[in-house]
Amino acid sequence: MRLLVTANHTPFIAGGADYHVQGLVAALRRQGHRVECLRLPFHYGEAQIRRQMHYVEGLEVVLPNDVRVDRVISLQFPGYGVSHPDHVVWLMHQHRACYELFDTDTATPALADLKPEVEAFDNRHLAAARRRFANSPRVAERLAQFNALHAEPLYHPPHQAERFTCADDWGYIFYPSRLEPLKRQTLLIEALAECHRPVRLLLAGDGSQRGALEALIERRGLQERVALLGHISEAEKLTLYAHARAVAFPTHDEDYGYITLEAMLAAKPVITCSDSGGPLAFVRHGQTGWVSEPSPQALAAALDEAWAMPGRCQEMGRAGREAYQAQEIGWESVVARLLAE
């Protein structure tokens, strides 16, 4: 088949969405399909988003240059606004600022004006898709809640899934993620300050909150127990997963969350929160990790328990890896479902 995959592109910024797109394109090509990826430049800002919605609605993707596209697979807003008679959407997430992150008390007038336009755009184009998938149950729940549309959850493996291993416990809790408010490193550091045990925390990644986190660590006197590693290589990430006692992922309402799957592949228990969204599809409290209330005190209790029981962490980590394997998450099954008639 001739397949067109639509997704966003932000120059010089790479993340989990890029691994998702690249993994899908590679999997489709491995099965002999001709695949092109239409990466649409994405810009935040209400005026830019409005222009982008109008632009994709006018794109010709059925017979570009008189070459027939058999099927379109769209992953992101606003790319799923293209029109094609055989259009499958595999939704990473919608424009969250107009949905679950929208706050009537703090929204600017420009965002409040954009919100109904985005909702109408989504209702129109997502409803027109021949089939809808979501990359997690949480994303499917939001689509049902806000747009009254059904999507089937469809999981995919993290980047380089086969390379994750478990090794000796070097005595730290690991959290690799962008340093941004929704990832809640602040909550984790505040929890560390409430711990009764000398829990050590390694935070990998960069972002807008680095300065604030450095100040918080100093204010709380945690310089000997928290390390901000900054950007790390893939090889360093694999090593840090392998030697962690547990993995923390206290994010707020995550879409999918590769960190959960990476931890399970490395046989590490996951410490997450009851409002963390995507991780809750995989983490079973007391079996493969901890599901804590999103408060420093509750999260501190989970950290203390993990720190005090390295043997139990190993058992829970093995259970997590077995649970991952039992789900048979792989690109072959993803391709089969996306291309099913």
Range of the domain at 291: 161-326
In a shared domain, residues 66 and 190? no
In whole angstroms, what is the distance from residue 240 CA to residue 233 CA?
11
In a shared domain, residues 175 and 86? no
123-159 pLDDT tens trace: 999 999 999 999 999 999 999 999 999 999 999 999 9
62: tokens are 């059925």
What is the per-residue pLDDT for 60? 84
In a shared domain, residues 149 and 202? no
What is the per-residue pLDDT for 36? 95
What is the per-residue pLDDT for 203? 98
Instruction: Look at residue 247 and tell me if it is in a domain.
Output: yes
What is the per-residue pLDDT for 54? 96
Average pLDDT over residues 267-277: 98
Check pLDDT > 80 for residue 14: no
Average pLDDT over residues 197-226: 97
In a shared domain, residues 215 and 241? yes
What is the per-residue pLDDT for 65? 83
pLDDT band, residue 12 (cuts 50/70/90)? confident
In a shared domain, residues 11 and 117? yes
Residues ≥6 apart with Cβ < 8 Å to 341: none
In the chain, % of residues over pLDDT 90 = 93
In the chain, % of residues over pLDDT 70 = 100
Check pLDDT > 90 for residue 17: no
The angle that helices 16-30 and 331-338 make with each other, rounded to 10 degrees, is 80
Residue (of 285, 276, 173) closest to 222 by Cα position: 173
In a shared domain, residues 198 and 281? yes
In a shared domain, residues 59 and 185? no
In whole angstroms, what is the distance from residue 90 CA to residue 88 CA?
7
In whole angstroms, what is the distance from residue 170 CA to residue 334 CA?
36
In a shared domain, residues 91 and 120? yes
Amino acid (1-letter code) at residue 56: V
Residues ≥6 apart with Cβ < 8 Å to 110: 46, 47
Q: What is the mean pLDDT of the chain?
A: 96
In whole angstroms, what is the distance from residue 73 CA to residue 282 CA?
26
Peptide bond preceding 158 in cis form (omega within 30 of 0): no
What is the per-residue pLDDT for 196? 98
In a shared domain, residues 117 and 249? no
In a shared domain, residues 140 and 19? yes
Provide the CA 105 distance to its chain's centre, in angstroms: 27
In a shared domain, residues 26 and 101? yes
Please compute Rg for the chain using Cα positions.
21
